[in-house]
A and B are shown apart, each in its own frame.
Chain A
Amino acid sequence: MLILSPADRASEAAALIDAGADELYAGYVPPFWAEAFGPVVSCNRRSYEEANVASLDALDALVRAAALRDVPVHVALNAAPIPEGMIPRMVALAADLASRGVRGVIVSDLALLLALRAARFRRLAIHASTLFSAFNGASVAFLRRAGAGRVILARELTVAEIEALVASSLSTPLEVIGLRGRCPNIEGFCTHLHDDPGRTWPCELRYAKEWRGKGDAIPWEVREAIERNEGVDRQYSCGLCAVPLLERAGVHAFKVVGRGSETPRKVAAVAAVSGMREWGRDNLPDPAACSRRGKSMYREMHGRPCRPENCYFPEFGPGDSEPPGNEGSG
């Protein structure tokens, strides 16, 4: 299983690859897009400049730095919708990216996916973004038929569900997002505007609440479940426990979230996934052992126990509880 790391500039490529990244992905907003839609609507869903390579020259430098270590770079073009007038320009951009050595583009708009398929690029893979909300094997088939060479699954699936999808997805490589950036909402169905320059998003806010229904007040267990997800910092989200099992299931790539974050944070995240992957290869652990190891690594990384609201794979029993299953190796 490959580890896919965010990268925002050439200078951090070596450290990320040293930490264990097998592939890098970046954002780039072409001038024609920014001129058309302004500073907030990004063609890769990250409007702040730290999350995008500054120019095509900077992208060239990143691709070269990665190529020195035989590591491919992919570029996110995953805004949706892409208006019809923009499609030919985005396809031309993809061709330009391919000529510069970019090996894949990540897309979430059906029209752009179809246009890229029609362009028949020989050296540019097309990745269907998690924004297509692929929860089932038929969705993977739909995306394969529309031109996707790799499908990034919805973030809410369990390891068992992912394992079944790998088995049914024929030759389509599947990618799983599993560290940092977990959102309480299904990303492909969320239409919140992420425009705050301070990067506090609508899903992270604390809201005042008013009950409108039977009885006098919000049922306490409902309120508690809502408030558990408020004020959550998404950089602490984690799916380390699942790494060895996802690799054994045949997942093609494991993506670390975090375009726009500081290099040391990216490096630490990649190193943690890499460490978990290596430990899994050496020990062939069962789920209970994975859970113990993942929680221990989380505590080392963040100086606190993991929490349910930050957990990508709740079946491992986040927090201090033990997951179901027997005690195993490791």
Chain B
Amino acid sequence: MTREYRYAGPDGAGIAGLPPGVGAVVGSDYCVHLLPGPEALSGAIAAARARDVPLILLTPYFRDAELKKAIGLFRAIPEGDDVLVSVNDWGALLAARVLLPRLNLSIGRLLSGQKRCPRIGISPRLTEAGRAWHAEGLFSSPRARAYLRESFGVSSYHVDVPGWGSALPATSGVEESPVSLYVHAPYAIVTVSDTCPWIGGKSSASVPSCTRPCRDGAIAVTELSMGNELILKGKARFVRVGDALAGGVDARDSLDSVLYDDTP
């Protein structure tokens, strides 16, 4: 690992408590209501700058109106600051590249293509090759990587530690530049819903703002056939995985870790 990052909450409230040298992560992969506002983002960027550490802004999928607002948020990122935007929406990737070409963009966990269902580890019907297939993703596809690098300037990918013990697939390919991987642990995203139980099972798009009641706790859900408990928080279900990466990544690649003290 070349650098450690830690999740500092949606708005970056935890940045002050991070150990020296540790990068900060804010925002959310899965819910638009867990994004910081422009002011909070500016504060998080300033706090990271004061500590001389980089910052990652996680972003979710967007409807049209939400994307318009998100572009406004992206504009709050000053040129020259060490901020990486993790994108989980193809439209956000296109819009950010066209409108704000100075942004440093990366492919988020929801777009990376990995499968994280704990059942993958225990299914007697999967062959070993079939099991290994579930760990593949855009980051292991030279063709997709080349397109995203050439057309969108993307060379970094956010991935999870495969929960069933597989190695991350090799990222070797045709590029001369290395691939940067941000490996998130110990909560791998298994699935995301558009509806949130914390707002009565409605779509997150149906409420203009949210008081974030999902921050008050999480629900562990278990069912025998699943092989491991899932942790439900907001609109996402996670599985707890180890933070140790097995081998298999190209030695040229940069590999950073993104750690969470609690379910994000």
Q: How large is the interface on A (under 10, 10 to 19, 20 to 34, 35 or more residues)?
A: 35 or more
**In the bound complex, CA of A330 to CA of B193 (Å):** 35
Cβ of A195 < 8 Å from any Cβ of B?
Answer: yes
A138-B91, A195-B126, A207-B221 known; A83 vs B117 contact (CB < 8 Å):
no
Tell me if A317 is interfacial: C-beta within 8 Å of chain B. Answer: no
Q: By the criterion CB–CB under 8 Å, are A40 and B125 in contact? A: yes
**Which of A36, A136, A226, A308 lies in contact with B89, CB distance below 8 A?**
A136
Say yes or no: is B223 at the interface (Cβ < 8 Å to chain A).
Answer: yes
Chain B residue numbers with a CB within 8 Å of A268 are none
> Which single member of B138, B147, B223, B231 contacts A205 (CB below 8 Å)?
B223
| A110 in contact with B91 (CB, 8 Å) | no
Query: A41 contacts B200, CB within 8 Å?
Result: no
Q: Are A191 and B141 in contact (CB under 8 A)?
A: no
Whether B190 contacts A226 by the Cβ 8 Å rule is no
Compute how far the CA of A11 lies from the CA of B235 in the bound complex, rounded to whole angstroms: 42
In chain A, positions 203-221 with a C-beta closer than 8 Å to chain B are: 203, 205-215, 218-219, 221
- Given contacts A133-B61, A207-B222, A229-B201, whether A142 and B94 have CB atoms under 8 Å apart is yes
Q: Which residues of chain A are within 8 angstroms of B230 by Cβ–Cβ distance?
A: 207
Tell me if B143 and A142 are in contact (CB < 8 A): no
- Complex CA gap A191/B117 in Å reads 6
The yes or no answer to A146 lying at the interface (CB within 8 A) is yes
Q: Chain B residues near A161 (CB, 8 Å)?
A: 63-64
Among B33-41, B46-54, B127-135, B246-254, which stretch is in contact with chain A? B127-135
Q: Which of B2-10, B78-86, B211-219 contacts A (4 or more CB under 8 A)?
A: B211-219
B189-213, CB < 8 A from A: 189-198, 200-203, 213
| Given A141-B91, A145-B151, A314-B203; 4 other pairs, CB 8 A cutoff | A192-B119, A207-B221, A210-B221, A308-B201
Q: Give 6 closest A-B pairs by Cβ, nearest first.
A: A213-B217, A138-B91, A225-B201, A38-B127, A139-B91, A207-B221
